[in-house]
Each structure stands twice: as structure tokens, then as C-alpha cells.
Structure 1
Amino acid sequence: MSLARIISYYRRVKAWVQGSDAHERTLELLGAFLAQQVAIKQYVSSLHDVEFRVYSQWGDDGIIQWIISHLPSIPKRFIEFGVEDYSESNTRFLMVNNNWTGLVMDGSPENIYRLRRRKWFWRYGLTALPCFVTRDNVNSLIADWVANREIGLLHIDVDGNDYWLWDAIRCISPSICIMEYNAVFGSERAVTIPYSADFRRFDAHYSGQYFGASLAALTMLARARGYALIGTNSAGNNAYYVRTDLLNNDLRELGVAEAFTTPNFRDSRDRRRRLDYLSHDQRQSLIRGLPVLDVVSGRTEPF
């Protein structure tokens, strides 16, 4: 059976069991089967080819399973922040399916409270901290948990200071880094929002489109830190970086233009905070003129 047919079957079964008592266990069983299928694939033309979704918002569960199958010796520990209550995240299936341990953080104490009360929380080596992460505290928060251990995967998705947080983390050198990029900033300019410790996406602009950093900016930072861009997901919001000493014939470096994916999702809001379903170009127009920092020149300029 082809991988495409397996994924199609998986989606039908997922829809059928949604809401039933067996929902999570059925999804995890199907996800484990798909993980085995993507693991045997060697070189792929794009990370899109190995996508599937169990607990990730998009197809990132499959991408992660494929990458770790080509890096079998990396440490089985992860860090992810911006997880809300962990119902939907990029590391939960990694924890469940591969028994990785990890640290997750979210700025909402209510989210972490709900996470800790989940019936499965005791089964895994998961540390969940309620904290609003800034570039001043992120390194110490991680260092306290890491305790000089090596990390296999870091995922940053805070819809705001993502670039600045990655730049501030010095205590670890993860094998894999997953960074949310803001495709609204386009594929060419290396820009990020100026740092603000209390940045909140919908306070900065009602549309929610002014946040984070461009793929080019994150990739410049990655190269300076010793990482190579190997692709993005098909949704056009997550970029995958692997430490350069771990690259191999199946994990190859891509340029920004080759890896960039324009998203099809339409998550912008109107002034009453209602979804307005604007296109990618329309969302770009909404934030034209707002200040961005060019990470090459160091100058703040209009987007």
C-alpha cells in the first residue's frame, strides 16, 4: 500500500473516531504505523512528502518522525514553548510514540493547569512550566531544566519574539530546531519584529499578522549558530533546521528561496477580532508600513 493511500485511510479513520473514548489511542496507533512507513523513506524531494498529523496542527508529526529516523543517535529530549494546553503541539506525538522526555512552557497558568490534569500526564517524563518567556529569562529557564544534558529537539512557537528568543538561548545546541516563521514578511527580506518583552500578537496589530520573523532572518541566525535549513512544512509556517555536523545524504541544506512555502491558511482578523479570510497578499497589505528590524543592516525600517 502506498504512503498516500495509508494517509488517506488514516484521515478517514481519524474522522470516524473523533470524539469517541478510543479517539487518542486509535490516533496514536495509526500514527505509529505511519511513523514506520515514513521512517523507511530515504531521500525525499521535500519534507512535504512525509507529512502526517496526529497532535500537530499541520503535518509536522510526520516530518519530525522522518528526521529523527535519519538521526537515530540524537538525545531523546525536547523543549517546546508556546504550547497552550498541549492538546495540539509538535512534540506530543514524539513523546507518546517515541517516549522522549521534555520541557514545555506556556505563558498561561490556566493552560499548564489543564495540561497537568490530563489523564496521561503521569505516563511520561514531561515537565510543564507556566511562564511568560523573554530573552532575559529563557536561557536560565532552560539551563535549570537541562542540567548539562544534551537536547535532541527545540521548537519555538510564541507568535512574537521567536527570533530574539532563539538568539538568547546559549546553554544548549539541539540536534534539530523547529522555528515558526511569518511568511507574510515574504521570502526575500531578513526581518523580524523589534524586540518587546511584553509583545502580544493581537495587541501589536488587530489582524494578528504582525509578529515573528521572516524565513530569511531565521536562516541567517541559524547559520551563525551552526545550523542548516532543510525545509519547511506544507502549511508554510514551520522551518526545520539541523545542526550542520549532523547533515547527511538524506538531510541536505536548502536555500531560503527553495525552502520557502507560501501559506494557504487565512487566519487574519478584522477590527472586531473576527476571522476575515484574507489572502496572503491582502494580509501583507494590512501590515505595510509597520516597523521591522532588518537583521543584516541592524536598522529599523517600514515593512
Structure 2
Amino acid sequence: MSILKKRVAALEGQLKLGLEAQKLAIGKLLTDKVVRLEKIRSFEDVEFQIFSQFGDDGIIQWLISKLDLTQKNFVEFGVEDYRESNTRFLLMNNNWVGYIIDGSDDNINLIRESEYYWKYELHTRAAFVTRENINTLMSDFGLAGDIGLLHIDIDGNDYWVWKSLEVVSPEILILEYNSVFGAERAVTIPYNADFQRTDSHYSNLYFGASLKALCELSNNKGYAFVGCNSAGNNAYFVRKDKLIPGIRELLPQEGYVQSRFRESRDEEFNLTYITGDERLDMLRGMDVVDTNTGELVKL
């Protein structure tokens, strides 16, 4: 590398670190503001975005300030390169211990080369998460019993992986849901260990589970559904022994938020920008599992 390129790279690194420091400083100010709120109408009242894709950084800060948590650690899988993640602010602002997994070796290597990797206690693993290996992956991290927070976002077998997870018990749980499946039906994609969202249907909309399916499963595992982010892709749950009077358990239909981001594709993989029920129309006839009966049904 030439001297000029080295200087440019060094300058870019300094600018990046300076920008992150500014973002963290802003995040601390926003955190101080939202944690003062005792009563909120919905999670939208406390949302803010530092490293999260949407307003989840604020939701998480508000929840951890209100709940009596025994553990200050988190697990998140499906993190990609971790530049945009729901737990990174938790790592850097609150100094929680992190355990993250992604299916790409390149993404994990990039994370290990980052400034924050040595500054904080962050454990990483490159692995494709399935219902067959999820408990082993947690055990390999040395995790068992209570953990502070778990976020499952793997764009596919989320329902099946959460159903199979037994070795850890998160106090706060975040599950990605597919709002295209609507608020009324309890359905998920059929299990396929090799599921890839972009290969399953050209629209890129066929993945994951409905909110109702995730709420019913989580309720059976001892969790209360307490709301969704305003973007309509993440559902929040609190273990029932940690629930407090100021945080109310909701029915799926009460807390459901329809997503408005427009990520659908046509058969040439071009964005189509459709919204609302038009997205579900693209998936008509696709197989899903009715999680109450276990039977295959059509969308």
C-alpha cells in the first residue's frame, strides 16, 4: 500500500471513530431522556436509533431501565457485520457482555477487526443457526440458564429455532416477525434447515412467522408480549416473572404493527415498492404451517 493510501486509510479510521463517539454521546443524552418516562402509550414514545436499524435502541434502553434484570448479557444472531444491530448500543453504552452469531465468516472476521471488539467483551461465532444446533451453540459459548436479552433475527426459521431453544432463559426477548402474514393467523414457514430467504420466493417476502404464532409460542414458554417497534418488524417479550405493573401484556391484535418499509422484489429482483395487502397477494398459494394444528395450509 502506498504512503498516500495509508494516510487516507488512517484518516478514514479516525473519522469513523469520531463519528461513533458522537453517536454514542447523542445516544447517552437520548437514553437519559427516555428512561425518565414512567408511563408510555406505546414503544414509539421511547424509540431512538443509534446503531439499530429502526428505533429499537431506545426501546431496549427503556426496558432495561424499568425491569429488575439479574443478568447483563445478550445473545443476538443474524447480525451480519454488526454495523447495524439492536444490541451494539447495549454493548457500547451499557457495557453488557455480548454473544453474537452470523452465518458468514467474512462478517465475523470484520467484527473481530473492529475497534469495539477489543474495547468490550464481545464473543463471536460464525455459524448457520438451526433448530438442531441452537442449544449446542449456546453451550459452546458457556451459556446456561438466565441471560439478560435474546434477539432472534435470522430471516427464516425464527419460530422453529425459538421453539427448540432450551438451555438459556432470556429475561427480555426480541423476535422478528413477518407482518405480511397479518395479525390474525398463527403461521410460520415450514422448517427447512437450509432455508434462504432470497431463494425461497422471488418477492423476498416469504420468511419467518406471523406475530400471533410467535406470541402463542412465547406465551407457552412463559413470556408476555409487550409490544412491537413502530417499523413493524420486531416484537418484544418479557419473561412473566420479570413483568411489572407499568408494562402491560398485550394480545397480538393489540400490539400488531404493519410494516411500511418496501422491500419486495419482482422476478428480476428489482424493488417493486408495493405496500399493505398487495404484498400478501404476491405470496398467495405458498405453503405455511398452522402452528396450532401443525398442518400445512396455503396463504
Asked if 1:272 is matched to 2:268, the reply is yes
2: distance between equivalents of 1:297 and 1:28?
47
What RMSD over aligned residues (CA atoms) do the two structures have, in Å?
1.1
Asked if 1:150 is matched to 2:146, the reply is yes
Runs of 4+ in 1 over 4 A off after TM superposition: none
> Which residue of structure 2 aligns with residue 249 of structure 1?
245
> Which residue of structure 2 aligns with residue 139 of structure 1?
135
> Which residue of structure 2 aligns with residue 221 of structure 1?
217
In the alignment, is the contact (CA less than 8 A) between 1:43 and 1:249 conserved in 2? Answer: no
Amino acid at match of 2:272: D
Asked if 1:67 is matched to 2:63, the reply is yes
How many angstroms does 1:20 deviate by? 5.8
How many angstroms does 1:264 deviate by? 1.0
Asked if 1:88 is matched to 2:88, the reply is no
* Larger displacement relative to structure 2 (272-281 or 205-214): 272-281
Asked if 1:208 is matched to 2:218, the reply is no
How many angstroms does 1:149 deviate by? 5.5
Q: Deviations over 1:243-289 (max 9, x none)?
A: 01111111110111110001111011111212111112111100011
In the alignment, is the contact (CA less than 8 A) between 2:100 and 2:122 conserved in 1? Answer: yes
- When residues 174 and 146 of structure 1 are mapped into structure 2, their CA distance, relative to the original with a 3 A threshold, is farther
Within the candidate set 160, 163, 185, 2:159 is matched to 163
Gaps of 5+ in 2: 1-14
Amino acid at match of 2:254: E
Amino acid at match of 1:60: D
> Which residue of structure 2 aligns with residue 282 of structure 1?
278
How many angstroms does 1:68 deviate by? 0.2
TM-score normalised over the length of structure 2: 0.93
Q: Deviations over 1:121-159 (max 9, x none)?
A: 101110111101110001110122134363000000000
The percentage of aligned residue pairs carrying the same residue is 50
2: distance between equivalents of 1:20 and 1:170?
39
1: distance between equivalents of 2:17 and 2:252?
43
Amino acid at match of 1:27: K
How many angstroms does 1:206 deviate by? 0.8
* Larger displacement relative to structure 2 (201-210 or 64-73): 64-73
Q: Which SS does the other structure have where 1:73 is aligned?
A: coil
Asked if 1:196 is matched to 2:166, the reply is no
Asked if 1:183 is matched to 2:179, the reply is yes
Number of residue-to-residue matches in the alignment: 285
Gaps of 5+ in 1: 1-18
2: distance between equivalents of 1:126 and 1:61?
18
In the alignment, is the contact (CA less than 8 A) between 1:80 and 1:156 conserved in 2? Answer: yes
Amino acid at match of 2:173: C
- When residues 88 and 194 of structure 1 are mapped into structure 2, their CA distance, relative to the original with a 3 A threshold, is same
1: distance between equivalents of 2:150 and 2:20?
24
> Which residue of structure 1 aligns with residue 8 of structure 2?
none
2: distance between equivalents of 1:182 and 1:274?
20
In the alignment, is the contact (CA less than 8 A) between 1:266 and 1:280 conserved in 2? Answer: no
In the alignment, is the contact (CA less than 8 A) between 2:68 and 2:242 conserved in 1? Answer: no
Amino acid at match of 1:202: T
Within the candidate set 271, 278, 293, 1:297 is matched to 293
